[in-house]
Amino acid sequence: MKNILQTLLLGVLTTATSLAQTAVTGPSTSTTPYIVSMVPGSTITSILTAGDVVGGYRMCGTPDGCGVFDNGNGTFTLLMNHEFVQSAGVARAHGQPGSFVSKWVINKSTLAVISGADLIQNVNIWNGSSYVTYNASSSNALATFTRFCSADLPPVTAYYNNTTGNGTPERIFMNGEESGAEGRVFGHIATGPNAGTSYELPFLGKFAPENAVACPYMSDKTIVGEMDDTSPSGQVYFYVGTKTNTGSEINKAGLVGGNLFGVAVSGMLAETTTMVPAANTTFSLINLGNVSAITGASLNTMSNNNGVTTFLRPEDGAWDPSNPRDFYFNTTDAIASPSRLWRLRFNDINNPQNGGTITAVLDGTEGQLMLDNMAIDNSGHIMLLEDVGNNSHNGIVFQYDIATDVLTQYAQHDPARFVTAGPSFLTQDEETSGVIDVQSVLGPGMFLIVDQAHFTYTTTPDVVEGGQILAFYNPTTFAANPEINIQGNSVNIVDGSTTTSAGNNTSFGTVGISFPQTKTYVIQNTGTGTLNVSGIYFNGTNASEFTLISPPTYPLLIGPSASQTLTVQFNPAAAGLRTATINISNNDYSENIYDYVIDGNAVVTTGISTNNVLSESVTLYPNPTRDEATVKVVSENSGKLNINVYDLQGRIVKSPVEKNIDKGEYLITINTADLKNGLYFVEVIASGKTTKIEMIVMH
């Protein structure tokens, strides 16, 4: 069931947006939103504008890639790139001017900005074989950053596998320098004792990275999609590494020691403006190996020599949270050329090196121009942002619906500010950017987005250009949300529950070794959108002793008001309390991994064999029983039927039943009134075959 939402904020939004789109000026800025909605029922709120000061810290403009995490105290932290060239602005906390990452603490209910600071304090630069650390007291030009563009703050699952303990649960903010062949990729530690420490990531290669986007699918493999935004054409790469449980955060996260792969599309060495490959054309991943010691120029040459496809300015990319093997990316091209949205569908996300298929889901004829940044919500909507490149065109925010293949205009820049001769004209060189789904923090339908207004800001040297941070309420996303709930024995099981109970089937009770027991659970979708279950797995001390019986095929789609029953078997391997956690990965934005503890008390069943299993159908009811139980046997052959009842020590505690039977159904009553409360085993032998059923007696 859903966690408590930000009811104050949502109440304001739903009241204001019930009939028409609404623009709101937030409490920490005096500037109205730079973008205006084109969709009824939506709301756009300005949060902070270039030049605004909070607690002595200034918003310095040209905002770009963003990431957020919940602080657990009614606030959230926003991490935000500032896309400056290396000489722009003033020296930051790490000692150099140029691009940097700001860190803002914002009230979840009011969107008031509480504080701001620089994230980066210490910078680890790769010298070809090891790291050298620089900071404000030991500054070096190598620690100067240029043109941080898009960014990725992936879910914890991208860098931590809680089934194996490999990786790190700390959050790592990813970005890169979109600055020619020698641009670097960086990982910035955002949480934990080493927050504020940044690492160059040489194993991810050198090029002009628009973004480095980590796959959220949980495994010991770390997969990062990277787009080389070189003009007129660049490559799409995937880094594949292995998580560990030792070393620094980036070592644990698997960002060290892996190989770089380039996407090679069958029959398309280079994308052209006039043709796209057929839908579901195959692509392969070309293994370029360990690239940590080579230059970007050498990487480009190696890629070209090995047949890696070049695309017309690959820009931002995103993994579909509902379909772990789907990766989307934009190509910008130019104002008079087709801008496209591509989908890479991997054959097996556990083995990405095996390649997959590629489709241009938008081929550039649909009306979009120069697509740049993007984000995908949990219900199959892609927000697509135009970068107009100083052309006379009002930059649009689009929504693409994956299921319906429909592209919709959702917002545009304020014409008064961004159309020449407008009454408050600022510039025609504008672009939205940094869009992210923040439903897990701000509630259903919520996004954050930033705007770059490329006009020179001359009032103070630390502010380089204009820009704004905004919140965006999307009613389509709101209406498409599923809501997961799990029940056992018709009783709700709370997400994250660590307490077990026989009442909701999370406790299997006393179970004999070699006598497996099953329990059923029901996955319910109480929301209005389709619930997409992408995987179910067990972890914990005794995870291997709990398994799904007849597991579903993934993705498992559960419609509104529908449900799916799961059967879990507990087959203990040793005596004592045996525990595990069941995890259900799904697209509910606030409970995307619905987990709860299950357990059972395993006991040794002396002298009872489980060999030679009976082929006939045998059931026992009621179970648990009180004074009488019935054994139902459906026999396919004639022969002799024997029924014995044993206690946990293997002693026969009831007079054996012996009778001749023919083909058919038989009901045999067992008097249990004289048996003590506890666990017993009913052995049924027919036609030389044997089965045993646990029977619980409860008076």
Q: Fill in the amino acid letter for 213.
A: V
Write the pLDDT tens digit of every residue in 307-320: 999 999 999 999 99
Is the model's pLDDT at 613 over the cut of 60? no
Query: Quick check: 593 and 583 in contact, CB under 8 A?
Result: yes
Q: Which helix (H) or strand (E) holds 326?
A: strand 326-331
pLDDT at 667: 93
- Please tell me the distance from the alpha carbon of residue 498 to that of residue 192, in angstroms, as a whole number: 25
Give the model confidence (pLDDT) of 495-536 as tens digits: 999 999 999 999 998 888 888 889 999 999 999 999 999 999
Q: In whole angstroms, what is the distance from residue 506 CA to residue 500 CA?
A: 5
pLDDT at 477 over 80: yes
Please, are residues 57 and 121 in contact by the beta-carbon 8 Å criterion? no
pLDDT confidence of 7, banded at 50, 70, 90?
very low
Name the token pair of 191. Answer: 């949480």
Residue type, 407: L
Q: DSSP assignment, residue 676?
A: P
Q: What is the pLDDT of residue 10?
A: 42
* Residue 616 in tokens: 């006939």
Task: Check whether 220 has a pLDDT greater than 50.
Answer: yes
617-697 has which fold? Immunoglobulin-like (2.60.40)
Confidence of residue 458 (pLDDT cuts 50, 70, 90): confident
What's the confidence (pLDDT) of residue 650? 83
The 10s digit of each residue's pLDDT in 229-274 is 999 999 999 999 999 999 999 999 999 999 999 999 999 999 999 9
pLDDT tier for residue 603 given thresholds of 50, 70 and 90: confident
- Mean pLDDT across the stretch 467-473? 98
- 66-102 tens-digit pLDDT: 999 999 999 999 999 999 999 999 999 999 999 999 9
Give the confidence band of 610 by pLDDT, cuts at 50, 70, 90: very low
Instruction: Give the confidence band of 457 by pLDDT, cuts at 50, 70, 90.
Output: confident
Average pLDDT of the segment spanning 40-47: 97
Q: What is the pLDDT of residue 168?
A: 99
Does the pLDDT at position 3 exceed 70?
no
State how far the Cα of 43 lies from the Cα of 16, in Å rounded to an integer: 8
Distance, C-alpha 19 to centroid of its chain: 32
Class of CATH domain 484-603:
mainly beta
Return the residue matching tokens 């009032």.
459
Other beta carbons within 10 Å of 4: 7
Q: Mean pLDDT across the chain, nearest whole number?
A: 94
CA distances from 323 to 215, 283, 344, 550, 610 (A): 11, 18, 11, 21, 42
Give the span between the Cα atoms of 46 and 468, in whole angstroms: 7
Q: Is 18's pLDDT higher than 90?
A: no
Per-residue pLDDT, averaged over 561-582, amounts to 96
Instruction: Tell me whether the CATH fold assigned to 484-603 matches the one assigned to 617-697.
Output: yes
**Degrees to nearest 5, angle at CA 180 with 176 and 185:** 20
Asked if residues 659 and 637 have their Cβ atoms less than 8 Å apart, the reply is no
Q: What is the pLDDT of residue 606?
A: 60
Q: Which residues are bridge partners to 108 per DSSP?
A: none
Q: To the nearest whole percent, how much of the chain has pLDDT over 70?
A: 96
- For the stretch 638-653, pLDDT in tens is 888 999 999 888 888 9
Mean of pLDDT values over 324-346: 97
Q: Residue 337: what pLDDT? A: 96
Whether the pLDDT of residue 16 is over 50: the answer is no
Inform me whether the pLDDT recorded for 170 exceeds 50: yes
Domain boundary assignment for the chain:
484-603, 617-697
Q: What confidence score (pLDDT) does residue 605 get?
A: 67
Instruction: Using alpha carbons, select from 86, 94, 195, 98 the residue that is nearest to residue 138.
Output: 94
Band (2; pLDDT cuts 50, 70, 90)? very low
List the one residue out of 6, 108, 4 whose CA is nearest residue 494: 4
Phi, psi of 352 (to 5 degrees): -60, -25
Average pLDDT over residues 297-325: 97
Instruction: Please give the Cα distance from 531 to 534 (Å, whole number).
Output: 10
Tokens at residue 309, please?
A: 């496809």
Nearest to 437 by CA among 155, 191, 226, 215: 155
Residue 668 main-chain phi, psi, to 5 deg:
-120, 125
The mean pLDDT of 118-133, rounded to a whole number, is 97
Whether 120 shows a pLDDT value over 90: the answer reads yes
Question: 244: Cβ–Cβ under 8 A, 6 or more apart, which residues?
Answer: 166, 167, 251, 252, 254
Which residues are 66's β-sheet partners? 80
Q: Which amino acid is at 167?
A: G
Query: Is residue 612 predicted with pLDDT exceeding 50?
Result: no
Helix (H, G, I), strand (E, B) or coil at 156: helix
Distance CA 2, CA 589 (A): 9
